[in-house]
Amino acid sequence: MKKDQWTTAALAFAGTLALVTGTAALAQGGPLTPVATFDHQATGVAVTQDGRRFVNFPRWTDDAPISVAEVLPNGTLRAYPDERWNGWRNARANELPVADYFVCVQSIVPDGHGNLWVLDPGAPGNEKILEGAPKLVRIDLKTNQVTKVIHVAADVALQGTYLNDIRFSPDGKTGYITDSGTRGAIIVIDLESGNAFRALDGHASTQIDKSVKVTIYGRPLVRPDGRQPAFAADGIAISNDGATLYYQALTGKTLYSIDTAKLRPEIGEAERAAAVKAVAQTHVADGLWMSKAGVLYITSPTDYSVTKLAGSGVQKVLTDKRLRWPDTFSEGPDGTMYLTASHIQDTNWFTPGAPPSIKTELFSFKPR
């Protein structure tokens, strides 16, 4: 999109939003429909009950000039909730208070109660956590104002933790967060008090499966030093009645579940571990989503696909070569599924010489 097509709101973002352009879809190919294209790496997507669409840009391989954006109907982006919250720059890390800015946003999820929650692991480059940076930020979707900030304490967001994704209990009082870092866990947080604790910390179900080798259409995906992607508990979903939590390590092949009643603080860890169930054998998976229709969708980055849970295994929903690392789902009010392609294999982590900034996309598809 040319600069003269940008909205006044986008131009107002100190001229920097021109670096994160969004392009409205003009074409449709098969079951996958392009919605927007971005000039930086997008991971999370959120679609609200009234159809508003949001995306986020983690500061993994470049210092993106925006962290959370609303995708406007014409495909352009607006800093959300405002420019100040999006004003962090890695180059100014010693000048800006980490508590008051989005540092490295990984996911954005609506809670069904009129709020958008922003999950900030506070670890630029997916590396060291900046002290005081891990947090949850609640934004009122009616007023577009931040109404609460919950800081995740250092004894919960341990050094090496990466707060990856979150799901909410139906009453909006509890959040469940995957820790995909070096010591996987499910972090349970009381959204009223802000108190949090680590559950299944180090349990086999939340850990990297060392037998899994990540490939892209059969070719090993490795960094220049030979390391493959190694991420613990990552994808997460919750049943529509809130009774069951599903999760899986990205570097894994087993989908697990646990009754949320076992994720209360008074439950002992041994009792909690005994309640974990292996649901299905799957594949390397990034994002999970439980649809309103009760279908559990799973991304399959190694073959550009989306699958769904079918008994003790999975069933292919769609495959499209444009899905370069299908990442995160959200669901529109009409049941349309939205999905980011974060192009992890195209970053300079795995493609030597790649520029820090890469183009990524937002797609949609109709359930079938």
pLDDT at 11 over 90: no
pLDDT beyond 90 at 105: yes
Q: What is the pTM of this model?
A: 0.92
The pLDDT value recorded for residue 200 is 98
Side-chain half-sphere CA neighbours of 180 within 13 A: 25
The continuous run of DSSP H or E covering 357 comes out as none
Query: What DSSP element (H or E) covers 269?
Result: helix 269-274
Residues 6+ apart with CB under 8 A from 159: 128, 129
Closest alpha carbon to 274 in 260, 261, 262: 262
pLDDT digits (tens, 9 = 90+) for 160-216: 999 999 999 999 999 999 999 999 999 999 999 999 999 999 999 999 999 999 999
Q: Residue 127 — pLDDT band, cuts 50, 70, 90?
A: confident
So what's the pLDDT on residue 12?
36
Residue 368's pLDDT is 74
Q: In the predicted model, is pLDDT for residue 3 greater than 60?
A: no
For residues 256 and 108, give the distance between their C-alpha atoms in angstroms, rounded to a whole number: 23
The pLDDT score that the predictor gives to residue 2 is 35
Task: Using the predicted structure, report yes or no on whether residue 142 has a pLDDT greater than 80.
Answer: yes
**Res. 25: pLDDT tops 60:** no
What letter does residue 32 receive in the DSSP assignment?
Answer: B
Q: What is the mean pLDDT of residues 250-260?
A: 98
**pLDDT tens profile 87-96:** 999 989 989 9
Q: Are 228 and 263 in contact (CB under 8 A)?
A: no
Cβ contacts of residue 139 below 8 Å, gap of 6+? 80, 81, 115, 116, 117, 118, 145, 146, 147
Which pLDDT tens digit goes with each residue over 46-102?
Answer: 999 999 999 999 999 989 999 999 999 988 999 999 999 999 999 899 899 999 999
Domain 3-365 has CATH 2.130.10.10: no
Give residue 216's pLDDT: 93
The predicted-structure confidence for 307-348, as pLDDT tens digits, reads as follows 999 999 999 999 999 999 999 999 999 999 999 999 999 999
Mean pLDDT rounded to a whole number for the chain: 91
Least confident of 26-30, 158-162, 272-276, 280-284: 26-30
pLDDT value at position 27? Answer: 33
